[in-house]
């Protein structure tokens, strides 16, 4: 599917929802729990979370691909884990910042 920053997607097989923060151009094969991510307003196809895509997502965490040009923010947590073209997305480590406001 073709993405743009601000797009909201959900998992077809768990509760995970994400927002696209950054994306490369072109079609991407994004999955969660082993099944394709769908538009947040679409009906979830349902099914089981694949055993090898079951590490879970955490709300408020950002997930990136290896190239660093795809970034998703988890807005609702779920059981499945995120991947692009079969490669797992990894947690973007946040640098601890002092509270400035």
Partner 1 sequence: MNVMMLLEMASGAMGDRVAVQCDDDHFSHADLYAGAGRVAEFVRGTSAEHLAILDTSSPAVPLALFGAGWAGMPFVPLNYRLTGAELDALIERITPAVLVTDAERAKELAGRDGLEVITREDFLAIARGDAATPESDWSMEPEDIAILLFTSGTTGAPKAAVLRHRHMVSYILGSVEFMAAAEEDAALVCVPPYHVAGMAAVLSSIYAGRRIVQLPNFTADGWLDVAHKAGITNAFVVPTMLQRIVAELEETGGAAPTSIRALAYGGGKMPLPVIDRAMSLFPPTVDFTNAYGLTETSSTIAVLGPDDHRVAAFNDDPEVKRRLGSAGKPLPGVEVEIRDDDGKPVSVGERGEIWVRGEQVSGEYLGRGSQLVEGGWFPTNDGGFLDEDGYLFVLGRIDDVIVRGGENLSPGEIEDVLHEHAAVADCAVVGVPDEQWGEAVAAAIVLKGEVTAEELQAWVKQHLRSSRVPERIEFWDELPYNETGKLLRRKVREALGTEA
Binding of residue 76 to partner 1 (CB under 8 A): yes
The C-alpha atoms of residue 15 and residue 56 are separated, in whole angstroms, by 10
Binding of residue 62 to partner 1 (CB under 8 A): yes
What's CA 39's distance to the chain center, in Å? Answer: 12
Cross-strand partners of 82 = 32
Quick check: helix, strand or coil at residue 57? Answer: strand
Quick check: helix, strand or coil at residue 22? Answer: strand
Closest to partner 1 by CB, 54 or 61: 61
Closest to partner 1 by CB, 67 or 99: 99
Contact track, partner 1, 9-48, x by CB under 8 A: ----------x-x---------------------------
């Amino acid at each position: 599917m073709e993405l743009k920053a601000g797009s909201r997607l959900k998992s077809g097989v768990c509760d995970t929802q994400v927002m696209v923060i950054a994306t490369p151009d072109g079609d991407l094969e994004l999955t969660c729990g082993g099944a394709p991510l769908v538009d947040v307003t679409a009906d979830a196809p349902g099914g089981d979370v694949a055993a090898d895509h079951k590490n879970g997502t955490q709300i408020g965490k950002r997930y990136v691909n290896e190239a660093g040009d795809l970034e998703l923010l988890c807005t609702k947590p779920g059981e499945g884990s995120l991947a692009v073209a079969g490669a797992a997305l990894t947690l973007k480590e946040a640098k601890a910042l002092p509270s400035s406001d």
